[in-house]
Structure 1
Amino acid sequence: MNHLAQLFGVSAAKTHEQPADSWVVEERSVDEARPLRVVVIGSGISGIIASIRFRQRIPNLDLCVYEKNADIGGTWLENRYPGCACDIPAHTYQATFEPNKEWSTFYATAPEIHKYWGRVRDKYGCARYIKFKQQVVEAVWKEDDSKWVLQIKDLESGSVYPDQCDVLISATGFLNEWKWPNIPGLHEFQGKLMHSARWDESFDYSDKRVAVVGNGSSGIQIVPGMLPKVTHMDHYVRSRTWIAPSFARSELERRGVKSDNFSFTPEELKTFNTDHNAYQQFRKEIELQLQSVHGATLLGTPEQLGAKEAFAENMRQRLSRKPELYEKLLPAFPPVCRRLTPGPGYLEALADDKVDIIASDIVRVDAEGIFTADGKHHPTDVLVCATGFDTTFTPRFPIIGCNGLSLAERWKKTPESYLSIAVDGFPNYFICFGPNSALGEGNLLLLLERVIDYFTSCVQKMQRDNIRCMSVRKDAVQRFTRHCDQYFSRTVYSEKCRSWYKGGEEGGRVIGVWPGSSLHSLQVLSHPRWEDFTYEYVNDNANGWMGDGWTENEKNHAINVSYLDDDQVDFPLAVFEQLKN
């Protein structure tokens, strides 16, 4: 027994050697950006923004965007039905860093929107990172390597080849899996059968009898879009819906913009291009109105009750040519329970003598037309299904996370997420517009940009802290799910109405929209809560981020002291201002 052991009464049998301290100094600079491969699925608006921001903010980046189509654009490439247009003002449906002063109409058409995003792609050199006609058909997380192993199908050759990445981002959008309605005999129809998401632009429907099934956002645009050329139209309306007044109507009227087609004159476009302040003021007026309607989503508020009255009066005026339609179309549920659309020309089209509104359920389709529950047969030449998409959020291809769990199985009962962007058990996987990500009001493009900002912040943290994988905590997902359910219980979304927000069910769980206002979503996503994630580190060394005592500039003999420049010094000017007061 040594002297100290004797002093403190500890027997020699209980003393032992301390294990050697593990080596935690990593051979890397503290600010070294380790190489990361990021794969983005989809080159719609989310994919374009991601391909710009990741290259802007992430050094040592290997970026690839897989796109199943032959061009960018997503929704605005695939949807080309008559009347297809943005259903919010185009001046709010653009990148904040690339304002467009040449929108020809207030509600820009699909071709014009697609052209705008094509210009953005070209200006920022996105095309070189996009692989067209390449479809991701499988994604499997490999825990040993902390990699996503992908299977990619070349849609031209039919061959399938592997790829892998550190970070996988789904940018396929909300509604990307269109489907035919479940109507008996639908494909026995011998006329022209079309879906709003797969429109045959070569088909001439002039002087045809047309049936339009569905009065969601697509049907509301298709009806006035097709009407001028057809001889007759049957519009099948399964449920009533609210048609919103046009946004910023007072601002448009002040500028003399015609309310029939919401087109801008060449003089107005010239003003926007030559007077930046006038353009900015116009944008801000629209944005202010767009961001000021959240109260209408909360049951019992003055804004919600007032919206119902205002919407009803708007519909009454627009149906004045056939006032009997007002009672037939006015919903019992409050506005915003279903997705809002202003539907320019829609109500006016319903009052046209060429249009018959059919509320009786469709029983079946035969070679020549449609049978309804009231026993009638409605002959038609063209059958248009504006019946929407798969709204379950089920992935269109297998995504396999930790322990072999598929995302389809994880979401089979309830499509849960963390802030709509991540799922527990799926590390390094981020989702643009997952469950509970849509906005019932406000500016969706601002939210999209903020989501991409969030993703780049996560990847920056992975590089900065030498993290090989990060995964959202299960309890954080559960908290967000519980929060959503409680929040929506006091909103108009909980009312009895059939909506894709609720998976197409009248009384379904609200899985489509964000639990709060548009501005609320921007604030929530502005600063990631790192404590809601778990982390695994390179070499399992949580101290590896500190590196070997060097910075990159020192190793490269490129030391600079620009931190002393006035534009980099954080002068406490606000403190001086306080002292003056």
Structure 2
Amino acid sequence: MFERIQRSFSSKRTTSSISEPTVETSGSERPAYQLGDFPIDAGRPLKVLVIGAGFSGIAAGIRFLQRIPNVELTIYEKNEGVGGTWWSNRYPGLACDIPSHCYQYTFFPHTQWSAVYAPGAEILAYLQNVVATYGLEKYIKLRHEMVAAKWDEAAAQWRLSIQRPKQSLDGSDAGVEVFEDTADLLFTGIGGLSRWNWPEIEGLQTFKGTLTHSAQWEVGGESSPAPVEPVVRKGWEEDVKDWGDKRVAVIGVGSSAIQIVPALQPRVGKLLNFVRGKTWLALPFAGGKMAELIGRDPASTNYVFTEEEKEKFKDPEYYKEFRHALEDDLNGVHLGTLKDTEMQKGAREAFKASMLQRLAKKPWIADHIIPEFGVACRRLTPGPGYLEALCEDNVDFITTHIKRITETGIETIDGQHHEVDVIVCATGYDTTFSLPFPIVGRNGVTIADKWTPHPTTYLSICVDDFPNWFFSLGPNSGVGSGSLLALIEYQVDYAVRAAQKLVREGLKSIEIRKEAVEDYDEYIENYFPITVYSEKCRSWYKMGKEEGRVVGLWPGSCLHALLALKEPRWEDFNYQRIDGSRNRLRWLGNGMTYNEQHSTGDRAWYLNDENVDIPPAPLRPE
């Protein structure tokens, strides 16, 4: 009987409106309230544009589709394939520099990494698998590059200029064309290590041999070919198969050079590593917690997993415990980044001893590579095989500064000329967050102006004067220790929750308050002086400078970042409502949910497993 009455009531509700008569007001009187003719969960449609299809953009695509019912999503990617930096980079020795089991999404575990530090091709394949699994291909537009973005105040939307290849009638490329797209919410996941420059060395472009950069590996072959199904990219090994008698110069001692040198050393006639700075090399993770967990000899230098070990990882419970133990250990070293802590002192002693041992064949190198500054002041990498490669007979470690490049080689300031056939510039990226395209916010403010002399943000995810724009891996988003992928996911989740708020409450814009940005800036300025990052060392953390503002790292530990981002402080934002109502709760609608009004769907969803929080008993075990 009651069900029939309920159905009758519901059907009437769907054909009639709930409203109040408008009452005219004068002066400063509040206008009469008009009840919304919509259920509380009707939600506004939302158009979201994501820039970049690397780890950040892929995670964003998945979460926006999962959690925003009325979303219209497009992901623009400038490259010919997904993967971000793992698509763009293919230099010799490219690999993860933290354990690969800690370099994956929390929601998409992969058990079959070939090695502790998996090669770049495997990481790219992992990301391609994620895209295929979640069916993101239909939302991703490859070879589409954002070249400008401007906030349209009247429409409360972002207007983006997108550049793409222009095709002729026969299907071949005919230059490029630019078109406009709009977004209610813009999410950028372009990363801080995606823009590279040639080093400023006199005569560099006069070199007649092979000149390449680690960030754009080209030695006469393809650098970023069009994808094939499945995408298979030519390995760098093929590029260097005829280098057995060549003299190869590698300029740099950053993380890329540290991977390139041991990869090329056994494949070339002579390798010259030109180094102007010093760096710490960490103890290999495989010899510590990893060895303990899988039962290896802690002194083992074999970083490749056996088939038996990979088979054990297929057990979900075993793998879950294994990965949890790894990340727990990875998150346990933050104290080592603080000045004068026992962990920092212990790391210096242990790393120095390890480096001296690995340089036993050429001990003089230690004087030129072991730093005086603290461990982790520069990006820390284990560098498997690097120091051992420097000790080989066909490798010269050259610390005399480069004066200029000639047509046939490299001249150092002491007058020596080194004849080489190949020059590899492993000299890093533009880490100043000087974006290669204009982004214009409210009142004509550009992000270039906003981020001069250094970038300022709120919790490293948004900035004042730029409504409805969130980003990951922007300024102060890196981690000195811990899982970068976890931080990316939490930055994405924050943006998605902001989108949910826009949808749920009928808002047209959300913008962080200027004073909140200023407060975060003040916190950053007072945090980093207690860390080793503020010591004198040239680092991309400090925009490539020896001293100054730290813009590359989160001001705290990885776990600190996750808790800071877990629960948004909505009071730190300003809002504008779509309907212009003065009543901030008009989104309550007509007092019903969609399923009630339309007699459809689940009307007892609060009993579903994901919504039931069963407390443990007893609550506080003794």
TM-score bracket relative to the smaller structure? over 0.9
Indicate the residue corresponding to 1:328 in structure 2: 368
In structure 2, the residue matched to 1:475 is 515
Q: Does 1:114 align with 2:118?
A: no
Residues 287, 578 of structure 1: alpha-carbon distance in 2 compared, 3 angstrom cutoff: closer
Query: Could you tell me whether the CA contact under 8 Å between 1:247 and 1:289 is conserved in 2?
Result: no
2:323 aligned with 1:294: no
Secondary structure at 1:539's aligned position in 2? Answer: coil
The amino acid of 2:460's aligned partner reads: S
- The question of whether the paired residues in 1 share the 8 Å contact of 2:250 and 2:272 is answered with yes
- Check conservation: 2:595, 2:601, Cα contact below 8 A: yes
Partner in structure 1 of residue 208 of structure 2 = 190
- Alignment-mate amino acid for residue 65 of structure 1: I
Does structure 2 conserve the Cα–Cα contact (< 8 Å) formed by 1:260 and 1:345? no
Question: Which of 334, 343, 351 is equivalent to 1:311?
Answer: 351
User: In structure 2, do the counterparts of structure 1 residues 18 and 439 end up closer, same or farther at CA, with 3 Å as the change threshold?
Assistant: closer
Equivalent residue, structure 2, for 1:247: 285
Any residues of structure 2 matched to 1:150-165 within 5 Å, and which? 150-157=160-167, 158-165=176-183
Aligned: 1:363 with 2:403: yes
What per-residue deviation string (whole Å, max 9, x for no partner) do you get for residues 251-294 of structure 1? 44343389444101112111212x33332232223212211100
Match of 1:135? 145
Query: Which position in structure 2 is the counterpart of 1:38?
Result: 48
Residue of structure 2 equivalent to 1:281: 321
Quote how far apart the aligned CAs of 1:560 are. Answer: 4.8
CA gap of 1:276–1:165, structure 2 versus 1, over 3 A, is same
Question: Structure 1: which amino acid aligns with 2:177?
Answer: S
- Contact 1:248–1:289 (Cα < 8 Å) also in 2: no
Distance of 1:130 and 1:578 partners within structure 2: 47
CA distance 1:196–1:560, shift in 2 (3 Å):
closer
Match of 1:448 among 488, 499, 504: 488
- Is residue 606–residue 612 contact of structure 2 (8 Å, CA) maintained in 1? no
Instruction: Give the equivalent residue in structure 2 for 1:64.
Output: 74
The one-letter code of the counterpart of 2:585 is: N
Equivalent of 2:271, from 233, 236, 242? 233
Shift of 1:62: 0.1
SS in 1 for 2:530: coil
1:138 CA drift (Å): 0.8
Quickly say closer, same or farther: Cα 1:580–1:124, change in 2 above 3 A. closer
- CA displacement, residues 389-426 of structure 1 (integer Å, 9 cap, x when unaligned): 11111111110000011101111212111111101000
Of the three residues 230, 245, 253, the one matched with 1:215 is 253
1:455 & 1:573 partners in 2: Cα distance? 29
**Deviation (angstroms), 1:69:** 0.8
Q: 1:572 to 1:156 in 2, by over 3 A?
A: closer
Distance 1:549 1:80, change over 3 A: same
- State whether structure 2 residue 151 is matched by structure 1 residue 169: no
Contact map agreement 1:96 1:446 (CA 8 A) in 2: yes
Tell me the secondary structure at the aligned position of residue 184 of structure 1: coil
The whole-number CA distance in structure 1 between the counterparts of 2:540 and 2:608 is 53
Distance change >3 Å, CA 191–CA 552, structure 1 → 2: same
Structure 2: runs of 5+ lacking an equivalent: 1-25, 168-175, 222-238
Shift of 1:434: 1.1
Farther-moved stretch of structure 1 (532-541 vs 381-390): 532-541
Q: Which of 575, 582, 596 is the matching residue for 1:554?
A: 596
Deviations 1:28-83 (A, max 9, x none): 22111110000000001111111111111111000000011111001111110110
State the partner residue of 2:39: 29
* Pairwise CA distance, 1:543: 3.3
Instruction: Give the Cα–Cα distance (whole angstroms) in 1 for the partners of residues 46 and 75 of structure 2.
Output: 14
- Equivalence for 1:10: none
Letter in 2 for 1:226: L
- TM-score computed with the length of structure 2 as normaliser: 0.87
Q: Indicate conservation of the 8 Å contact 1:501/1:510, yes or no.
A: yes
Q: Using the alignment, how far apart are the partners of 2:530 and 2:433 within structure 1?
A: 24
Q: Which shows bigger deviation, 198-207 or 494-503?
A: 198-207
Alignment-derived partner of residue 394 in structure 2:
354
Gap change, CA 1:156 and 1:369, over 3 Å in 2: farther
Residue 101 (1) aligns with residue 106 (2):
no
Partner Cα distance (1:365, 1:46) in 2? 38
Deviation at 1:499, TM superposition (A): 0.3
CA distance in 2, matches of 1:528, 1:456: 11
Is the 2:286–2:303 Cα contact (8 Å) retained in structure 1?
Answer: no
2:89 matched to 1:79?
Answer: yes
Question: Is the 2:286–2:301 contact (alpha carbons within 8 Å) kept by the matching residues of 1?
Answer: no
Residue type at the aligned position of 2:446: S
Aligned with 1:468: secondary structure?
Answer: strand
5 Å matches for 1:485-500? 485-500=525-540
Amino acid aligned to 1:83: G
Q: CA RMSD in A?
A: 1.9
Residue identity opposite 2:309 in structure 1: E
Matched, 1:206 2:260: no
SS at match of 1:155: strand
* Residue 372 (str. 1) matches residue 385 (str. 2): no
Does 2:337 align with 1:264? no
Task: State which of 102, 124, 135 in structure 2 corresponds to 1:125.
Answer: 135
The yes-or-no answer on 1:545 pairing with 2:587 is: yes
Distance 1:232 1:89 in 2: 31
Shift of 1:87: 0.3
Aligned mates of 1:118, 1:380 — CA distance in 2:
38
Quote the offset at 1:249 in angstroms: 1.7
Unaligned runs of at least 5 residues, structure 1: 1-15
1:50 lines up with 2:68 in the alignment: no
Q: CA offset at residue 554 of structure 1?
A: 2.4
Does structure 2 retain, via aligned residues, the 8 Å contact 1:133–1:156?
A: no
* Aligned partner letter, 1:555: Q
Whole-angstrom CA distance in 2 between matches of 1:400 and 1:537: 22
Closer, same or farther in 2 for the Cα pair 1:559/1:387, shift >3 Å?
A: closer
CA separation of 1:377 and 1:170: change in aligned 2, threshold 3 A? same
Partner deviation per Cα, 1:326-345 (whole Å, 9 max, x = no partner): 22211010100000000000
How far the C-alpha of 1:321 sits from its partner, in A, is: 1.8
